[in-house]
Amino acid sequence: MTPSVVTLQPVPPQEPPQVGAPLLAALNRDDAVATAAWQRWRGSVDIQHLTWPEMQLLPVLHGPRLDEWLTGDPAAGIIKGIVRRAWSEAQVRLGLVREIVGSLQRSGCTPVTVIGAAGAYLRCLGAAAIRPILEVRILMPRWHLPLTTAVLEGEGWQLRDRYPEGDLLERRSHVLFERNGSRLYLHWRVLEVDARLAASCERAFLARHDTAAAIGSEFRILPAAEALIESICGHSESVDVLAWQADAAFIVSSTSARIDWPRLLRIARQFSPSIIRRVAQLRALGLEIPEPSAMEPPPGRLALVLAAVLGRA
């Protein structure tokens, strides 16, 4: 039976914020560049009137550099309080993620992949950076949507979108549930793509996964390449205002040896070629990003043999 719900119209994707923002530049891997950016930002803001994006970015800067920058700063207590609050809120929402994933798994709805802000937080485990979590997003195969919806509604979650069926499954990538002020986005696809590419895009992001252990549970998350793509593309409907470069920079700086660049290139070419241009923007943060030609997979044995034959001709 199709539930009676309020219909929300899809929101077109927006161009992500640029790397030139003063506080965002404090993420630069070069200590001198980052320190200069921080000093410019601190000299230009009233700490009592920070923007919401700035408040979300401060916890991501948490670590030895921020401690050094706050030495002697009369606003140090306020900034540290913002960081502590982000950590506390993230623990509460991570507990919610554990509850949701556990319920779905016990009902046979698998695999369940944690994406979005919570997925990014889980990837940050062990690092000083604290990734705020304002909403929960999970990725499921589309064939589990009826059972998943029934499980969630049985636990008090209310569907706020039209139930996804028919061609709506091709045109949308997710639906929104709410419970007690918490927002849960149920995805069957990570990216917003042309309907003709929907099924292949779903397969691409369900094919592989990493795992992360936290709060006594193990969670399935996206591999580094797919997570980088998600952070770059963002989500069309979201209360998460953290600049995409923050998540992307962490993935590149902490797991660059594990990023499958050829796979990233293949997915980008198939579903969103602008990803390559946006990846290149990360060089402004001092990150080493290969050129597209260096992301190409090495030639196979047949190609090498053919090249050798042609070379002798």
pLDDT higher for 31 or 237? 31
Q: Is 301's pLDDT higher than 80?
A: no
Strand partners, 187: 139, 174
**What is the mean predicted confidence (pLDDT) over 33-43?**
96
Nearest CA-CA partner of 101 in 88, 90, 111, 87 = 111
Nearest CA-CA partner of 195 in 265, 269, 271, 276 = 271
Grade residue 12 by pLDDT with cuts at 50, 70 and 90.
very low
Q: How far apart are CA 204 and CA 189, in angstroms?
A: 9
Q: How far is CA 13 from CA 162, 243, 294, in A?
A: 20, 14, 29
Grade residue 236 by pLDDT with cuts at 50, 70 and 90.
confident
pTM for the predicted model, two decimal places: 0.87
In CATH terms, the fold of domain 87-292 is Beta Polymerase; domain 2 (3.30.460)
Strand partners, 183: 178
pLDDT of residue 310: 53
Structure tokens at 125: 């485990």
**What is the mean predicted confidence (pLDDT) over 264-290?**
93
Q: How far apart are CA 212 and CA 122, in angstroms?
A: 6
**Dihedral angle over CA of 9, 13, 18, 21, nearest 10:** 10
**What is the mean predicted confidence (pLDDT) over 238-252?**
90
Q: Is 15's pLDDT higher than 90?
A: no
Residue type, 101: V
Nearest CA-CA partner of 28 in 50, 4, 60, 55 = 60
Q: Is 18's pLDDT higher than 50?
A: no
User: pLDDT of 54-88, one tens digit each?
Assistant: 999 999 999 999 999 999 999 999 999 999 999 99
Of the listed ranges 4-18, 67-81, 220-234, the one predicted with least confidence: 4-18
**What is the mean predicted confidence (pLDDT) over 130-147?**
96
pLDDT higher for 5 or 279? 279
pLDDT higher for 305 or 91? 91
Q: Is 270's pLDDT higher than 70?
A: yes
Burial class (CB in 10 A: 0-12, 13-18, 19+), 115: buried
Cis ω for the linkage preceding 111 (within 30 of 0) = yes
Grade residue 16 by pLDDT with cuts at 50, 70 and 90.
very low
pLDDT of residue 22: 81
Separate counts of helices (H) and strands (E) for the chain: 14, 7
pLDDT of residue 4: 36
pLDDT of residue 257: 64
DSSP assignments along 79-128, one per residue = HHHHHHHHHHHHHHHHHHHHHHHHHHHHTT----EEEHHHHHHHHTTTSS
The structural domains of the chain, with segments of one domain joined by +, span 87-292
pLDDT of residue 214: 93
Grade residue 127 by pLDDT with cuts at 50, 70 and 90.
confident
Q: How far apart are CA 86 and CA 92, in angstroms?
A: 10
Strand partners, 218: 213
pLDDT of residue 304: 47
Q: Is 138's pLDDT higher than 50?
A: yes
**What is the mean predicted confidence (pLDDT) over 234-261?**
86
Q: Is 153's pLDDT higher than 50?
A: yes
Of the listed ranges 17-21, 105-109, 290-294, 308-312, the one predicted with least confidence: 17-21
Q: Is 183's pLDDT higher than 50?
A: yes
Residue type, 56: Q
